Amino acid sequence: MTEVEKKCIFAQTVDTAPDGRKDRSSASLKAQQAGESGWAWSIVTVSLCTGIAMLTYPAFELVDVAMIYLLGVVITASRTTKWPALLTAFLSVAAFDFFFVPPRLTFAVAQTRHIVTFAVMFFVTLATSRLTLRIRQQAEESQLKEQRTAALYDLSRELVRERDMDKLKAIAEQHIGKLFDSNVVVLLPDLHGRPMPPAREFPWSEQEREAAQYVFDNRQPAGSNALTGPDAVALYLPLIASAGTIGVVGLRQKSKRKLEPEQLRYLEAFINQTGIAIERALMAEESRRASVKAETEGLRNTLLSSISHDLRTPLTAVTGAVSTLLDADARLDRQGRRELLETIQEESDRLNRVIKNVLAMTRLESGVLMLQKEWQSLEEIVGVVLNRLGERLNDHPVTLNLPASLPLIPFDGLLLEQVFMNLFENAIKYTPRGTPLELSASEQLFTVTVEFADKGPGIPPGQEERIFEKFVRGGTAGGGVGLGLAICRAIITAHGGRIWAENRPGGGALFRFTLSSAGVPPLPEREE
């Protein structure tokens, strides 16, 4: 019986029908039928053999009749299991004796030599049936092995293709769950080495948590079916990779059947594959983080050294002007005093701008994930920037070309404002007074392209890319940290867009950037 059962579990393991449950019930039904029909087989075969022998008996010898029974045993053994085959052997000898060995229709035996015939016949049938069975088992086993290997291969192939941790987990959970007819979860540890509770539906309790923790700490299985560790409803196995235990796999069988050692080994093979894949994903993530961190730290250092200069220059001017005002107030005329005060105001503004950019940069560097995307209107943001720049734009007539048909854009409003602010401030800094600025935007295929053009001296040839690097200044004019365009690029890139610069054919610089307008915001119904 157990053999039939085992066969059914594994047979079902390789079934690739989409609905595992249905599969399973039909498989177990088949197994049951095989068990019952085994006995039927043996009785029917013996009856059939007896019938055929009856028809031929007067013509054939007793030895030939024995052969007919032998054939019946071989057929039964090839179709059923051990016990029905044995029964067939026994019934064959009995029927042979009853129907054919004189005196017929009794179990009595006239000649003693017939007893030897029975013994030989019984052992021959037995040996034949066992040989037949073994051959069949071997064939089945090799088929099974092949199927298991195929299933394992399927899993590892899917795992290799995936890089995302959650998807890796889902693939492993799905595969193992289907193969072992169980609800499976992959539990990864949190920062303190505690397996995180399952994210998907899985019966979870303090007991389960303890078992999972035990597995993670001791690298030993725990829970139901396990010989070690605390008991639990589900079975927990360690997810072992080269670096040690990287997680725990929880498996809750849908049936109450115990897992065979062979199945456990098979399960381990699957879990090992999963472990390798997850470790690979973890390492990739770690190396990515390390490189980001190194970059951030490098930036921070350069930023500090560069900023101290840019902060001190305006500060020096302010301190100087103020101390003159304080010390020499009486000696200053009205005009002189006014000039000093204007200096203070200008330099303070400049200081404020530098600080704003530095803060924006740190905000961007510290967490691009902090983007607060909202549906924004370009016209509105440009309006804010123009308003804020106010008088500083007096020397630069601005032409706007923002079609009313422009869609809303999912963007962090403050950051987009910063982009425009930096572009305008750059233009004010690097283009001569009186030269015009043009800002236009257009949409194509869910991408809004913004163009910002000036009529200034343009960008030094070959520097079109370099100006977007940190701490690179476009020229000697003005004086800032050289962060403006780097910030623009960081912001645009963080939103999945692109920004680049080129020189205009007629002179001047042209900055272009793209923003995705994909997706439709839920809008109120139209009125009127």
Partner 1 sequence: MRRFLRITLQSHGYRLIEASTAQEGLLQAASRNPDVVLLDLGLPDMDGLEVTSRLREWAQTPIIVISAREQEQDKVKALDAGADDYLTKPFSANELLARIRVALRHSIRGRSGRPEPIFVFDTLRVDLSQRQVFLNNNEVHLTPLEYKLLMVLIRHAGKVITHRQLLTEVWGPAHAKEVQYLRVYMTQLRHKLEADPARPRFLINEPGIGYRLKYDPDERASIK
**Binding-site ranges for partner 1 (CB under 8 A):** 348, 352, 356, 359, 363, 372, 374-377, 379-384, 386-387, 400, 402, 404, 408, 413-414, 417, 521-524, 527-528
Least separation in angstroms between residue 379's CB and partner 1 is 5
Using CA atoms, how far residue 57 sits from 62, 72, 113, in Å, is 8, 16, 19
* Helix (H) / strand (E) containing 338: helix 334-366
Asked if residue 103 has a cis previous peptide bond (ω within 30° of 0), the answer is: yes
Q: What is the DSSP string of 123-175?
A: HHHHHHHHHHHHHHHHHHHHHHHHHHHHHHHHHHHHHHH---HHHHHHHHHHH
Cβ-based nearer residue to partner 1, 177 or 484: 484
Contact 99, 50 (CB under 8 A): yes
Residue 204 Ramachandran class (φ > 0 left, ψ -120 to 50 alpha, else beta): beta
- Mapped onto helix, strand or coil, the DSSP state of residue 354 is helix
What is the C-alpha to C-alpha distance for residues 250 and 237, in angstroms, rounded to an integer? 7
H helix count then E strand count, the chain = 12, 11
Residue 153: both structure tokens together: 């291969």
Q: How are beta strands 437-444 and 398-401 bridged, if at all?
A: parallel
Name the nearest CA neighbour of 98 among 107, 110, 90. 107
How near is the Cβ of 21 to partner 1 at its closest, in Å? 41
Q: At closest approach, how far in Å is the CB of 348 from partner 1?
A: 7
Say whether 440 sits in a helix, a strand or coil: strand
Shortest Å, Cβ 387 to partner 1: 7
Contact 510, 504 (CB under 8 A): yes
Would you call 433 exposed, middle or buried from its count of C-beta atoms within 10 A (0-12, 13-18, 19+)?
exposed
Comparing CB distances to partner 1, the nearer of 216 and 411 is: 411
Give the residue carrying structure tokens 């050692």. Answer: 261
